[in-house]
Amino acid sequence: MILQSTNPANGAIIWEGKVDGPEECQKALERARAAAPLWARTPLGERLAVARRFGALLKDGLDDVARLIAQETGKQLWDSRGEVNAMIGKVEISIAAQAERAGMREQAMPFGRSVLRHRPHGVMAVLGPYNFPGHLPNGHIVPALIAGNVVVFKPSEETPAVGARMAELWTEAGLPEGVFQIVQGGRETGAALVAGDIDGLLFTGSAQAGRVFRHAFADRPHVILALELGGNNPLIAWPDNGGDGEPEAVASLVNHSAFITTGQRCSCARRLILPTGTAGDRMLEAVLTQAAALPVSAWDEAEGFMGPLISARAAAKARGAVAALNASGAKLLLPAAAPRGDDSAFMGAAVLEVTGISTPDEEIFAPVLQVIRADSFDAAIAAANNTSFGLSAGLIAQDAALWERFASEIRAGVVNWNRPTTGAASAMPFGGLGDSGNHRPSAAYAADYCAYPAASFEAPRIESLPIPGLAR
């Protein structure tokens, strides 16, 4: 069976190759298991040197890798460049995080010393997403490898070319044979991989898939499970009594939060909560005016803010979700325009008013924003927390007291003030609560799930210990 990936903007074939089935996955895991002991014993300095060579190769090939990401995902080139830069930065960030969170330390004791070491788990399976096909799996792979684990990586079936390029770069960086391997394919390939002999599953993807993995691994407690999932993320925009804040500035923060990467970020704002009354009306009008004017283009045309979704199928699904909300009573404020036809992957921003309507608590992974009006800040926070997810949340307000309250009451792992909900730093943890994860945040905290602590009491000599009640 052959796997193909295509440019979502024009259908051009970007990559094609063989689908790896259960037998190939089994062989990859066997090679990984055989390579694991030697890589774990490799001195940390040598492992770090390989990771740094990988980062240097990425830097040397930044433009080529960014163009490949843009071609395969449809992302704007400025967005793809940002992704490659994040991949490069991840190397030194992971090295620093490993030293801080998973290093070695010792303390003198009367008998000798106590020592804390961190040991690799062994064979890690990494399943990557399509929206950041380099950066997000890279955030698992780099810390896993420097911790001494071996990795078998399955990219998204939508973005196999980026995954294949990453594998080439790791080989070029000097990883020993078997330490990093790639298998290509869709759901069946992923299922065969995670059903095999693994010590950890590092996954970035949908909440639905996360639920499947939680159940599947309930009886496999020896497998470390790190889930980075989606969100139905709230953004509250709340002026003070004087109606502070330029509506256009508020609109820019909202539209960056909701529509960057064509809404295909797990941290995108999905729900905008505004006050009832004139101040909220002014903000909403500015959001709609700006959203309607957001430029949509293919990456190699005139520079745009949004590109196509990952596929025409994804765009059709998103437009269907908008239609379903509209049919359930939501007021369509900005239509999900199809600038290049209903059968293309291109889709404009969609905004719906859903105040007082029961809507599904789910992530629409597309440029779709639902607006809720609230009579008080109490009601706004209650609406924001009315979700089973808990990934990101944001507040746009000048009042510092509102921010202090919001930061203490909102349930989310990434909580921003007067910045887009998508703002996150690789040097900090990234993850969420509830259906957004399993309390194993990634980014800098990936060091925590890539190694386990081993505490030791150590004495250089064998000495007799007194045994109470035993005559000597």
Domain limits, the chain: 2-229+437-457, 233-417
**Which amino acid appears at position 180 of this protein?**
F
pLDDT band at 472 (very low <50, low <70, confident <90, very high): low
Distance (Å, rounded) from C-alpha 329 to C-alpha 324? Answer: 9
- pLDDT attached to residue 352: 98
- Residues with catalytic annotation? 228, 266
Q: Do the beta carbons of residue 352 and residue 372 sit within 8 Å?
A: no
The percentage of the chain sitting over the pLDDT mark of 90, rounded to a whole number, equals 93
Strand partners, 6: 13
DSSP state, residue 398: S
Q: Do the beta carbons of residue 363 and residue 317 sit within 8 Å?
A: no
- pLDDT attached to residue 113: 95
Is the domain spanning 2-229+437-457 CATH 3.40.605.10? The answer is yes
CA 352 to chain centre: 26
Cα angle 47, 49, 55; round to 5: 110
Q: How much is the mean pLDDT over the chain?
A: 96
- pLDDT attached to residue 263: 98
Segment 19-27 shows an average pLDDT of 98
Distance (Å, rounded) from C-alpha 30 to C-alpha 13? Answer: 32
Strand partners, 154: 127
- pLDDT attached to residue 127: 98
pLDDT at 241 over 70: no
Q: What is the CA radius of gyration of the chain?
A: 24
Segment 223-229 shows an average pLDDT of 96
- pLDDT attached to residue 23: 97
Quickly list DSSP for 56-91: HHHHHTHHHHHHHHHHHH---HHHHHHHHHHHHHHH
Q: Do the beta carbons of residue 280 and residue 311 sit within 8 Å?
A: no
- pLDDT attached to residue 424: 87
DSSP state, residue 246: -
Tokens describing residue 139: 């955030």
- pLDDT attached to residue 341: 82
Q: What's 233-417's CATH class?
A: alpha beta
Distance (Å, rounded) from C-alpha 133 to C-alpha 343? Answer: 24
pLDDT at 471 over 80: no
**Which residue carries 């939508």 as its tokens?**
158
pLDDT band at 245 (very low <50, low <70, confident <90, very high): low
pLDDT at 342 over 90: no
Distance (Å, rounded) from C-alpha 72 to C-alpha 66? Answer: 10
Strand partners, 318: none
pLDDT digits (tens, 9 = 90+) for 309-333: 999 999 999 999 999 999 999 999 9
DSSP state, residue 260: G
pLDDT digits (tens, 9 = 90+) for 411-435: 999 999 999 999 888 889 999 999 9
pLDDT band at 338 (very low <50, low <70, confident <90, very high): confident
pLDDT digits (tens, 9 = 90+) for 36-82: 999 999 999 999 999 999 999 999 999 999 999 999 999 999 999 99
Residues 257, 69, 83, 317, Cα dihedral to 10°: 20
pLDDT at 242 over 60: no
